[in-house]
Amino acid sequence: MVAVALLGAITHQTLAAWASADARPGSFFGRFRSIPSASFANAVVVLYAVSTLLGGVIYLYFRVDVRPELERAGHWHVLGFFDLKEHFAAIGLGLLPAYWVCWRRPHTDEPAQARTALTSILAFIVWWGFLSGHVANNIMGFGS
């Protein structure tokens, strides 16, 4: 549930950050801009940290039980994507303080490129983790 909430919050914030300021109020992107993007920052930071912590707890099961089976079956590409997931998650943890500072009190007169870039990078990391985790989990029917 934590990961799904994180996925929703970061996706909403990313779409709102990429939407133009002059989007029509009733349009798809106009609806995303109707909720202040900064209101998601604290939730994203907390959800990302909790999701990473919970992922670290279940990582031992993956490393001991699942990974050897994937290695025996020759699913090296899946393991490579999962290794990238680990590296990206660590990079995301390092970006969280900068992300939080950029969104803490955004002013209308400052450029939004840093906020948009950091949010987009975190969204990519969260989506990569979601998709690669599901592929690694479901490749041989584990976890069902």
Is residue 123 pLDDT above 90, yes or no?
yes
pLDDT for 2 equals 92
Average pLDDT over residues 28-44: 76
Mean pLDDT of 55-75: 86
pTM for the full predicted model:
0.83
**Confidence check: pLDDT of 94 > 80:** yes
**What is the pLDDT, as a whole number, of residue 38?**
76
Mean pLDDT of 28-46: 78
65 contacts 54 by C-beta, under 8 angstroms:
no
Task: Dig out the tokens for 62 from the structure.
Answer: 């993956």
Kindly give, in sequence order, each residue whose CB lies less than 8 Å from that of residue 70, ignoring residues fewer than 6 positions away.
78, 79, 136, 139, 140
CA distance 89 to 96: 11
pLDDT at 108: 63
Q: Please give the residue that has the higher pLDDT: either 108 or 75.
A: 75
* pLDDT for position 144: 44
Q: Specify the pLDDT at position 4.
A: 93
Predicted confidence at residue 21, as pLDDT, reads 67
Sign of the CA dihedral 61, 130, 11, 110?
Answer: positive
What mean pLDDT, rounded, does the chain reach? 84
Q: Which amino acid is at 96?
A: L
- Name 67's Cβ contacts closer than 8 Å, sequence gap at least 6: 79
